[in-house]
Amino acid sequence: MPIFDSKAPPNKNQALLVSVMEFYHGVPLAPRRGVKKDTKRLHKILSKLGFQVTIHNDLTAEEIRHVFKTASLEMGGTCFVGVLSSHGEEGLVFGADGNAVRLAEIFSWFGGPGTSETTKLFFVQACRGKELDDGVELQADSVSVSEEDSFSPCFSIPIDSAVMFATAPGYGAFLHPLGSVFLQTLCDLLEEEGGRSLEVTQLMTRLNYHVAHNFEAKGRELGGKKEMPCFVTRLTRQVFPFADRLKEPLPL
């Protein structure tokens, strides 16, 4: 369970990056090439933006639950960013042991009274269905699960939180050996002064636009296919988590 960076001081914004690239022997899930590219770039950019970044790779389902629950109890600063990247289905992501983690369970931990002053942002790189199959040059982060295990996590998103998914319900999310189009585009925007200075819902809208209009899958089977991220927000104020640290949240 690799962990990088120590516990953040109480007043420092925090980011938790959880990615699964390799699955246990016997688990029928393909390795996810490109995950390390996403993690490395996110770590570099978020650190420069003042976040204390913690990285966990190839955790089991139970370990994923543990690190997010622990993070919900130890949050500091004005913003928490959680990134979760794995194979998945609607409402679920999978640990390295092949067991499922319900996103609703993760989100629910961030609704306690101790988190009320902190903006919570989640970015989920995982498929939400089987609409797209594996391609030649690109890989889809999907796997089949039973219908009763698939449900929308949106009802569990706490107040003053926003969740952005790499793709719409029922569809696959693409992963390239050079990284996922979703997280790499997020990094592109955060490296641009005009992107990181945006209010967070404007940033997410711009991310939607860039992925929807600039990405097109290649390969014999998936050539021409597109990806459309989407986000759900329960924010009650405007926030600028990646901009000048002196900028305060504005009332709506």
Residue 146 is predicted with a pLDDT of: 43
Token pair belonging to 234: 């329960």
- Extract the runs of DSSP E, i.e. beta strands, from the chain: 14-19, 52-57, 79-85, 88-89, 92-94, 100-102, 119-125, 139-140, 161-165, 174-176, 179-180, 230-233, 237-238, 250-251
- The one catalytic residue in 43, 56, 79, 87 is 87
Q: What is the pLDDT of residue 129?
A: 77
pTM for this one?
A: 0.84
Q: How far from each other are the two terminal CA atoms of the chain, in whole angstroms? A: 41
Ranges of residues in the chain with a pLDDT under 70 are 1-10, 130-153, 215-226, 244-252
Helix (H, G, I), strand (E, B) or coil at 28: coil
Res 214: pLDDT: 81
pLDDT given for residue 184 in this prediction: 94
Single out the residue of 160, 152, 156, 163 nearest to residue 109, CA to CA: 156
The per-residue DSSP string of 201-248 comes to HHHHHHHHHHHHHH----STTTTT-----EEEE--SEE--TTS-TTPP
Do residues 55 and 20 lie in contact, with contact meaning Cβ atoms separated by under 8 Å? no
Q: Identify the active-site residue in 43, 127, 176, 187.
A: 127
- Does residue 79 have an active-site annotation? no
Q: What angle do CA 83, 85, 89 make, to 5 degrees?
A: 120
Concerning whether 127 is annotated as a catalytic residue, the answer is yes
Round to whole Å and give the CA distance between 25 and 54.
Answer: 26
Confidence at residue 218, expressed as pLDDT on a 0 to 100 scale: 58
Assess contact for 147 and 104: CB atoms under 8 A. Answer: no
